[in-house]
Chain A
Amino acid sequence: MMWTRKDLVALSELSAEEIVFVLDTAAEFKGVGQRRLKKVPSLRGKTLVNLFVEASTRTRTSFELAAVRLSADVVNITATTSSLSKGESLKDTAKNLEALAADLIVLRHSAAGAPQFLAERLQAGVINAGDGSHEHPTQGLLDVFTMRERLGRVEGLKVGIVGDIRFSRVARSNLWALTKLGAEVILIGPPTLVPREFERTGARICHRLDDVLPELDVVNLLRIQHERQKAGYFPGTGEYASLFGLNAARAARLKPGALVMHPGPIHRGVELDGSVADGPHSVILDQVTNGLAVRMAVLYLCGSMALKEEA
């Protein structure tokens, strides 16, 4: 098959073949990172704009480095510095960027559906770097890449995703990628944060981490956010940590070879103990390295399709 999309908006829209295509491409780009010259000219002369309406230094830096390694020119725009804060609509901001010859726009926005909205209206390629609670496709891809690389396969794996599933775009992207590739997904968290509607996707729901921990091949821990505590979804980080935190005692019950993952940033002592984050099961730093390779792959693939025809 060939890759034909100019945008990457949601993993829910990709076929299993397309996801594997991206993972295989990322594997090649990971190799580039090991060479003497870590740069390839694929996007030379092209412009990538990081339009981060919702702030994030880590993801933005990862995309920026990926773009630079593909020899693209990078422009960074954040909400406060942009005209968006002066009331310009997202559509007008993006159209202006396109008129300035942006070939790719990486968008992080708090409104679910914002990347979809732009992708439909722009000739530039749109890459979703996180849209509200909807999806974070490159995170989902790098998580699955890490699992495949470390465990040799995705099909048949039992992957537990722990935490605030309800509001998590990382959980949703992971869910789609894993389900399409044949893994079994178990969503773990308090009843207020794990909507039953997810069962319709084939995922299992479990409210007690201890019950399911020894079966898991992968434990992917999500960040718990204080805003949810204020809104009454759970009583506090102390209670959360005691019920769902991957502390040293729980980590001792993990299957040998099981992976501990986290999209970052970590709250040591809440989602997991420091010793577990730094321990033998943890692949958290690999995730960061793999994130760069995955983003290079995505920019390479979508960038190739978004390049305008020069007559």
Chain B
Amino acid sequence: MTAELSGSGPIFLAGIPTRGVALARRLREELARRGVAAECGAVDVAMYRDDLGMRGGVRPLRGTDLPMDLDNWTIVLVDDVQQTGRTARAAIDAVLGFGRPKRILFAVLADRGGRELPIRPDYTGLELSARPGAKLRVRLAEVDEGEEGISES
């Protein structure tokens, strides 16, 4: 990631709530240690989803911190788990709603397979295969209690 992003112009790490935001912050620290400066924040994708109303209620919207004028920016979407690709697609739409960035990249902590759209992360922490119905839970210190880790349930 460092190699690809060095010298790219302004970089924004856009975390997809909830855990993507914490991961984006961690990524920024890691990149800074390697000499790459980046800003980070959240991009809420709820308004762009195509599966509204299927969850028994509407969740509160969370803010979006993208810079107002995106033209020169490289946006790196950050999420904890990638499965169908729908969240990533909604995130892409959200970013494009703000403007026309130079490029959009996608970083994910764990890719569990089961893609329904042709959207592949550019950077993957871990490739896993989980059973189709199983829920994958990621625990991060910033958000969850207990030990950090990834588990299946």
Direct contact of A and B (CB under 8 A): yes
- Interface pairs A-B: 5 shortest CB-CB: A2-B57, A307-B53, A3-B58, A304-B52, A40-B47
Q: Which of B50, B57, B98 contacts A41 (CB 8 A)?
A: B50
Give complex CA distance A19, B88 in Å.
31
Query: Known contacts A28-B44, A307-B52: does B58 contact A301 (CB below 8 Å)?
Result: yes
Judging by beta carbons under 8 Å apart, are A40 and B97 in contact? yes
Counted as pairs of residues, one from A and one from B, with CB atoms less than 8 Å apart, the total is 66
Q: Which of A21, A24, A42, A306 contacts B48 (CB 8 A)?
A: A42
Give complex CA distance A4, B55 in Å.
10
Q: List CB contacts (< 8 Å) of B34-50 with chain A.
A: 44, 47-50
Q: Which of A32, A44, A305, A309 contacts B58 (CB 8 A)?
A: A305
Give complex CA distance A34, B57 in Å.
27
**Residues of A participating in the B interface, judged by any CB pair closer than 8 Å:** 1-4, 21, 24-25, 28, 31-32, 34-37, 39-42, 44, 300-301, 303-307, 309
A1 to chain B, nearest CB (A): 8
Enumerate chain B residues within 8 angstroms of A25, measured Cβ to Cβ.
Answer: 60-61
Judging by beta carbons under 8 Å apart, are A36 and B98 in contact? yes
Interface of B is mostly: loop
B59 part of interface (Cβ distance < 8 Å): yes
**Residues of B participating in the A interface, judged by any CB pair closer than 8 Å:** 44, 47-50, 52-61, 63-64, 68, 93, 96-99
Give complex CA distance A40, B61 in Å.
14
Q: Which of B44, B53, B63 contacts A304 (CB 8 A)?
A: B53
Judging by beta carbons under 8 Å apart, are B53 and A306 in contact? yes
Enumerate chain B residues within 8 angstroms of A303, measured Cβ to Cβ.
Answer: 52-53
A302 to chain B, nearest CB (A): 9
Judging by beta carbons under 8 Å apart, are B61 and A24 in contact? yes
Judging by beta carbons under 8 Å apart, are B96 and A37 in contact? yes
Query: Known contacts A306-B53, A307-B52: does B58 contact A37 (CB below 8 Å)?
Result: no
Q: What residue of chain B has the Cβ atom nearest to residue A103's Cβ?
A: B53
A240 to chain B, nearest CB (A): 42
Give complex CA distance A21, B50 in Å.
21
Q: What residue of chain B has the Cβ atom nearest to residue A40's Cβ?
A: B47
Judging by beta carbons under 8 Å apart, are B58 and A39 in contact? no
B105 to chain A, nearest CB (A): 21
Judging by beta carbons under 8 Å apart, are A304 and B48 in contact? no
A294 to chain B, nearest CB (A): 13
Give complex CA distance A12, B64 in Å.
31
Complex A-B: 12 CB contacts under 8 Å: A24-B60, A28-B44, A28-B63, A28-B64, A31-B63, A31-B64, A40-B48, A301-B58, A303-B52, A305-B58, A306-B53, A307-B53
Q: What residue of chain B has the Cβ atom nearest to residue A44's Cβ?
A: B50
B18 to chain A, nearest CB (A): 15
Give complex CA distance A283, B97 in Å.
29
Judging by beta carbons under 8 Å apart, are A300 and B47 in contact? yes
A38 to chain B, nearest CB (A): 8
